Amino acid sequence: MLRSGRTATEYFDKYKFEGDPILLDEIAQAMAPLVPRDIEVLAGLEMGGIPVVTALGRHTGLPCAFVRKQAKTYGTCRLAEGADVVGRRVLVVEDVVTSGGQIAVSTADLRNSGAQVSEALCVIDREQGGAAALAAKGISLSSLLTATDLRMTS
């Protein structure tokens, strides 16, 4: 069972690369050329996008924001912590995309906060409709790898 509620016959264990600093750094280095030139802030989604966006920030020099699923009711009470997103071109960063649901929700929240978001980047696109669903919401999805790529290497 995936976070999207879908049942899958294969599982991509993202924690294997997110928990390995050498592999995560190599992934971020490979993703850096996929970041559009006009992006001002990288926004990693809680929880899997956080290590990816932090590593990616090292390779791009761009500031990072960390996007919660819900703003906390204490502290800063902000949805996005870290770099300011208001009025800035923001790239949403995620680890694995299936339906694109969390990117869609978080992008709407970021846009309501004043961010300019039209693109997202992920490590793995499971190729299960996420890109099309996001395109319908004005979000272009790029990925480092697809499920097809990973099946070809196994």
Q: What is the DSSP string of the chain?
A: --TTS---S----HHHHHT-HHHHHHHHHHHGGGS-TT--EEEEETTTHHHHHHHHHHHH---EEEE-SS--SSTT--SEEES--TTSEEEEEEEEESS-HHHHHHHHHHHHTT-EEEEEEEEEE--SSHHHHHHTTT-EEEEEEEHHHHHHH-
- pLDDT mean over 41-50: 95
Q: pLDDT for 65-92, tens place per residue?
A: 999 987 777 777 688 999 999 999 999 9
Specify the DSSP element, H or E, that contains 17.
helix 14-18
Give the fold, CATH level 3, of 22-153.
Rossmann fold (3.40.50)
Binding site listing for orotate: 98, 126
For residues 43 and 90, is the Cβ–Cβ distance under 8 A? yes
- pLDDT mean over 122-135: 96
Binding site listing: 3, 68-69, 72, 94-102, 126
Which of the four pLDDT bands, split at 50, 70 and 90, describes residue 50? very high
Give the pLDDT confidence score for residue 96 in this predicted structure.
94
Binding site listing for 5-phospho-alpha-D-ribose 1-diphosphate: 3, 68-69, 72, 94-102
For residues 64 and 82, is the Cβ–Cβ distance under 8 A? yes
Could you tell me the residue ranges of all domains in the chain? Answer: 22-153
Q: pLDDT for 86-123, tens place per residue?
A: 999 999 999 999 999 999 999 999 999 999 999 999 99
pTM over 0.85: yes
